Amino acid sequence: MRRKLIIVCSALAFLALLSAVEQMAVRRITDAALMHTHEILVDIHDGEFEAAKEKAHTLDRAWDRQAGWLETLVDHSSTDEVRYALSRLLAALDGEDRAAALIYGCELEGGIEHVFERQELTLQNIL
């Protein structure tokens, strides 16, 4: 009986450790993406469409590399929403439509935040 209890406690501790490491990894990815998004929004506010477009393409490539891994941890719809917002943002930047670019940049920011929220170990997400 004592041995079984030790095994169960060890397994639960291991799962808790894995969950913490996974949350830190997703947090690192989403924080980096949010930082890039903030820089893009600053460039849009300043009318620097070329700089914003370059940063958006950099974010797009980085998201493509990391989205596959994230999709093993969170729902695909969350990562897909980020992808769609990035596509709309790039289109608005190509057309130098400041208003639309600001809207899609804010949408992108919310989508990235949602990725972490969907993955976070909370009672709401568990249930």
Q: What is the pLDDT of residue 72?
A: 72
**Is residue 38 over pLDDT 70?**
yes
Q: What is the pLDDT of residue 121?
A: 59
Contacts of 56 (CB under 8 A, 6+ apart): 40, 86, 89, 90, 93
Distance CA 114, CA 1 (A): 43
pLDDT digits (tens, 9 = 90+) for 47-78: 999 999 999 999 999 988 887 777 777 777 78
% of the chain surpassing 90 pLDDT: 47
Average pLDDT over every residue of 95-112: 94
> Which of 91, 111, 101 has its CA nearest to residue 48?
101
Distance CA 103, CA 62 (A): 21
Q: What is the pLDDT of residue 123?
A: 58
Q: What is the pLDDT of residue 127?
A: 52
The CATH class for the domain spanning 22-126 reads mainly alpha
